[in-house]
Amino acid sequence: MSENGLSVAINLSLSDTLKNGDTIFYKVLVNHSFTVYPYLSLIEKQTGTRDTTALLTFWQSVDGIHNWQQVTNTATPTAWNITLAKATATEVDFWRSVGWFNSTYLGVRLIGGGKKTDYTYYNCYYGSIKINKL
C-alpha cells in the first residue's frame, strides 16, 4: 500500500460477464496497518434486455479463504446489500455509507438477476476499488 492508499482494477479486460443467476467474486488483499475506507467504482456494460439487475454485497476474511463474513453498514450495523438496476455507473464509499470493514481481505460479490427464464443478456461490470487510508 502506498502512502496515499491502494488502487485495484476490476475486470478491465471485460472478460468476466454476469448472466442471470451467475455469481462473480473479486478478492482484494488489504494488508493495512491504518484504518482504511474502500471506495468502489463500477461501470456497467449491458447487452440484451434492459430489465436486468445485479445484487452487490461485500465480504471480509482474515486469510482470504475461510470464514468470509458479510460487511455491514450504517450506525446500527446490518447486512449490506445493494441492488444494481439498469445502472450505468455505481459509486460506493465505505466512509459515507458507514461500512464496517476491518479485516485483511475485501470480497466484492455480484449476483446476476432479472427474468428467471431470460438468458439472452449479460452484464459486464468493470472499474476499480480504491483503498483510502486515514
Q: Is residue 11 part of a domain?
A: yes
Give per-residue pLDDT as tens, 92-114.
998 899 999 888 899 999 988 76
Higher pLDDT, 5 or 21: 21
Whether residue 16 is contained in a domain is answered as yes
Q: Would residue 20 count as lying in a domain? A: yes
Q: pTM of the entire structure? A: 0.84
**Is 97 part of any domain?**
yes
Give the total number of structural domains in the chain: 1
Task: Look up the CATH number of the domain holding residue 30.
Answer: 2.60.120.680
User: What DSSP designation does 13 have?
Assistant: T
Full domain range(s) for residue 89: 6-133
pLDDT, one tens digit per residue, over 20-44 is 788 999 998 886 666 778 889 888 8
Query: In the chain, at which residue ranges do the beta strands (DSSP E only) sit?
Result: 6-10, 23-29, 36-47, 53-61, 69-70, 72-73, 78-79, 81-85, 89-93, 99-100, 105-112, 122-133
- On whether residue 64 sits in a domain, the answer given is yes
CA atoms within 13 A on the CB side of 133: 13
Does residue 1 sit within a domain? no
Residue 69 lies in a domain: yes
